[in-house]
Amino acid sequence: MAAFAALLAVVLAWGLVSGRLAGYSVTLPIVLVVVGAVLSAIHVVVVQLDSESVRILVELVLQG
């Protein structure tokens, strides 16, 4: 549940600041990878890398 809430928060924040970050070539997939790495490093989100949901989420993120 924390992972889903974090994802929603990042997407909402991206919607608010994407115009400002467009000049720096920052894209949503880059932001999601960085936020995911940070949240995993501080153990807010625990990700089982062999789960089906992670594979689906990665595919969705990389298609954007």
**pLDDT mean over 5-19:** 88
pLDDT tens for each residue of 29-56: 888 888 888 888 887 777 677 778 878 8
Q: What is the pLDDT of residue 31?
A: 87
Domain spans of the chain, in order of start: 2-63
d(CA 41, CA 36): 8
Q: What is the pLDDT of residue 64?
A: 64
